[in-house]
Amino acid sequence: METRFGWTGKILKIDLTKKKISSLTTHDYSEDFLGGLGIGEKIYWDETVPETRALDPENPLILMTGPLCGTTAPSAPRLVVCGKSPMTCPERFVNASIAGFFPAELKKAGWDGVVLFGRSDTPVVIRIENGTVTLDDAAHLWGLKNTAARERIATVSGDKHKIMSIGPGGENGARMGTLLIDLAGSAGMGFGAVMGSKNVKAIVVRGTGKVPVADPEGVKQVRKKLKQMTGPGFHNLYENSMPIPGNRVVRKVHCHGCAQGCWRAVHRRPSGLEGIRKCQTVGFYMLWDMKKNGQVTDITFRAMDLANEYGLCIHEMLFLLLWIEWARDREILNEENTGLPLSDMGSLEFIERFMKMIAAREGFGRVLGEGALRAVEAFGAESKKMVLGFLTKTGRPSRTYGPKSFIISAPIHATEQRPAITSLHEICHPLTKWALWYKSKGEQSYVSTDVLRNIAEKFWGGKAAVDFSTYDGKAKAAVIIQNREYAKECLVLCDLVWPVHDDASTDDHVGDPALESRLLSAVVGRDISAEALDRIGARVLALNRAILFRDGRKGREEDTLSEVCFVSLQEPPADIFDMYNPERYLPGKGDELISHKTAAVDRKKFEKMMDEYYDLRGWDVETGLLKKTTLKELGLGFVVDSLGEKVL
Ligand code: SF4
């Protein structure tokens, strides 16, 4: 086979119903869709029909790496997980991603991705030893929590194998079931339940090969450049772990090939409890621990471990806990109708019973296992209103990096089933660094207002993107950001490192938006410009929208924001920007500072911004539908016939 650098050339395809193991050819997809999400979308488009439900055997579980994974490219340790998600309301195609060493091991075993179809009649473990793939009996593992299952697998396989597993939550179809890999990496959006619905307990992989790279020296140069840019003076937003009183960071842990590192680290409690902790997941039960016990105790720490053990998404756990407490205080929920010790929220017993019940889908756990937005349906309009205070209509967080702080994120929230966290991170990063500059008077960050404006000019289409006194320039910025981030999900790079907006090594401190294309070019041995990457991003985003339309999403009437976005309110911090900048200051014109602490989105201006957004995308302004001409220009003519009235 002809060597195509960056790829092994094969995607593992397993029909679990027929126990048939075969492969797809990566290069049939990679030319147009690059990798990761792009290839995942194309497989999903080709292999599914709109009626397929998330936990049907026909819903494929797609795990797809990018061309950089498993190479020496810096901070490219992720793979994209996609398919129809049981978590969104209604069930729709979305993607998640997962980082650690499993994705690189898969590549080294000679597989660019794995696509699972069908349902095994008995529980299995998929074992991949380089080119040899077997479906092993997993009856003895079914029902085990993640650690016990992984330990038993490791006893047989040895510690060199990398494992992706599910807990009882995924096995029993809890909609928030997660996939777990090494370094406590997990993927949400219910993909653990999708794997469980296929009767697959784990995928175990060992690879001893190498991923071919065309220009190793070129990759080294990009790595060196990245190191310079993020050298002395650079503020890594994710350097310091989330502050949990009592926790001590024992050591940092990095994913495969990571050049930077983040708050992923081994934490230790004074009691000696240890475990890997990352981002806000660390403290999802902290509020109730503190309310009950007057301080943060080991219970906060144990709650996180329990979520991993049962394989349940902590975001969804948090949404449910917020609603349960609210409903308890209004006597909508009580100990009789839930079977939970509601007066004991904050205890270990409560959180353990809560998760066990959800994971087993027993009693009230059947309701809770549906996720917050579906669970409240039977409890009246007030319950629904309560959760819609912090969730989008599709059941995702509405405030995190939301339009109330950053109006640039409004088109992303409006058009996507799951507002893409990577796009939201791209918006948040430079603005948080600017907030840090403002707050510390330049001590902790060099991203001054001038630097921020120059970053916006280079990365976001113009300085107007960061003038928050106006909605001008925001639609254009959103289009550019989404395109870049969709391309990034094809590459698949870590969004805690990429793109590199600011540069510690230059006087103007403005980063380099072409670094990703340089890296890709060096790996695959072909010149791929930043513009070409942008076009791939636009294509993959349009295919994403075509999938959503084909599966039932409506056009502009559905492209809106949560009602709460249009209401001025005093709200608690929701993200890293708020943490650094509680008043939510943002720059306006000149030296003007604007507080967005209680800001609401202006409905008329939002609609005008959406007009501009559709127009820039080449979509129909009135309906938000895709246009045939645009689809054909993007190389997506093949979707036209399937879209019927949803294309103009
Ligand atoms: S920044 Fe963190 S999550 Fe990203 S690759 Fe590095 S260690 Fe992994």
Q: Write down all domains in the chain, each with its CATH number in brackets.
A: 10-206 (3.60.9.10), 248-387 (1.10.569.10), 407-646 (1.10.599.10)
Tokens of 257: 């090939």
pLDDT per residue over 539-582, tens digit each?
999 999 999 999 999 999 999 999 999 999 888 888 888 888 99
CA of 254 to the centre of ligand 1 (A): 6
% of the chain with per-residue pLDDT over 70: 100
CA of 88 to the centre of ligand 1 (A): 26
Query: What value, to the nearest 5°, has the Cα angle with vertex 22 and ends 17 and 25?
Result: 135
Average pLDDT, rounded, for the chain: 95
- Alpha-carbon dihedral of residues 421, 424, 430, 435, nearest 10 degrees? -110
- Tell me the C-alpha to C-alpha distance, in Å, between residue 599 and each of 185, 402, 448, 469, 586: 35, 11, 23, 12, 11
Which residues are CB-neighbours of 644 under 8 A, at least 6 positions away?
A: none
At residue 233 the predicted structure's pLDDT band, cuts being 50, 70 and 90, is very high
**Strand positions, DSSP E, 227-290:** 248-252, 265-268, 274-277
CA of 505 to the centre of ligand 1 (A): 22
**Residue 418 has what pLDDT?**
87
3-state secondary structure of 24: strand
The residue whose CB lies within 8 Å of the most ligand 1 atoms, and thus the one to mutate among 497, 498, 576, is 497
Terminal Cα-to-Cα distance of the chain (whole angstroms): 42
Mean pLDDT, residues 592-621 taken together: 96
Ligand 1: residues within 6 Å at CB?
75, 77, 99, 254-255, 258, 260-262, 264, 494, 496-497
Q: Which atom of ligand 1 is closest in space to residue 100's alpha carbon? A: 8
**Residue 361 has what pLDDT?**
96
Would the pLDDT of 618 be above 60? yes
**Residue 211 has what pLDDT?**
96
Q: 461 with 225: CB under 8 angstroms?
A: no
Nearest CA to ligand 1 atom 4: 494
Nearest CA to ligand 1 atom 8: 255
CA of 388 to the centre of ligand 1 (A): 32
Mean pLDDT, residues 305-333 taken together: 97
**Residue 102 has what pLDDT?**
97
Nearest in space to 468 (alpha carbons), one of 406, 418, 525: 406
**Residue 542 has what pLDDT?**
98
CA of 306 to the centre of ligand 1 (A): 23
Tokens of 331: 């006597």
**Residue 2 has what pLDDT?**
62
**Residue 372 has what pLDDT?**
96
Tokens of 519: 């890296």
- Tell me the C-alpha to C-alpha distance, in Å, between residue 297 and each of 279, 287, 289, 292, 442: 18, 11, 7, 10, 36
Tokens of 97: 């991603």
Residue type for 21, please? I
